[in-house]
Amino acid sequence: MQLSKQAIPIHRMGVDKPLEIVFNNVKIDGWSDISKTTHKNEVHRDDYYLFLFTDSVNSVYVVDFEEIQVGGSSMIYYVRPGQVHFVSSIHNTRGWVLTVDPMFVEQDYRNIFERQFLTQKPIISLYSLFH
């Protein structure tokens, strides 16, 4: 008996984003059920880097099947190409999303991101330490 596998979709830079670098503002007041408002939140992978820079955030992300709670102000987080991810909840969040095609990231920096496999947690930005 052969079991069927459900493939995890891949969002591709050239299809989802016409440019190789895209910068967007995010503002969500109250609770948002983004799973009902956009297909972008389905369980998926991207073929690009996704960087999140937040002024304020109260969200739960699932990355490579690990739940990561992100809360507070001035947080930085990233998702590498190929990581399975989605947002399970998001509440009162403000910030920016930067998507970058890997070909625009120098190999030395890609190596740094790739080596962070076991420690890929949100970090507090330096800005929040001084303000």
**Structure confidence by residue, pLDDT tens digits, 93-116:** 888 989 999 988 899 988 888 776
Q: How confident is the model at residue 122 (pLDDT cuts 50, 70, 90)?
A: low
Report if residue 40 sits inside a domain.
Answer: yes
Report if residue 5 sits inside a domain.
Answer: no
If one counts the domains in the chain, the total is 1
> What amino acid is encoded at 104 in this protein?
F
State how far the Cα of 72 lies from the Cα of 118, in Å rounded to an integer: 22
pLDDT of residue 48: 92
State how far the Cα of 16 lies from the Cα of 53, in Å rounded to an integer: 20
Report if residue 55 sits inside a domain.
Answer: yes
Report if residue 123 sits inside a domain.
Answer: yes
List, as one string, the DSSP characters of 12-51.
-HHHH-SSSEEEEEEEEEEEE-HHHH-GGGSSBEESSEEE
Q: Which domain holds residue 55?
A: 10-130
Report if residue 2 sits inside a domain.
Answer: no
Q: Give the CATH number, domain containing residue 20.
A: 2.60.120
pLDDT at 5 exceeding the cut of 80: no
pLDDT at 46 exceeding the cut of 60: yes
Sign of the Cα pseudo-torsion (95, 41, 58, 123, in order):
negative
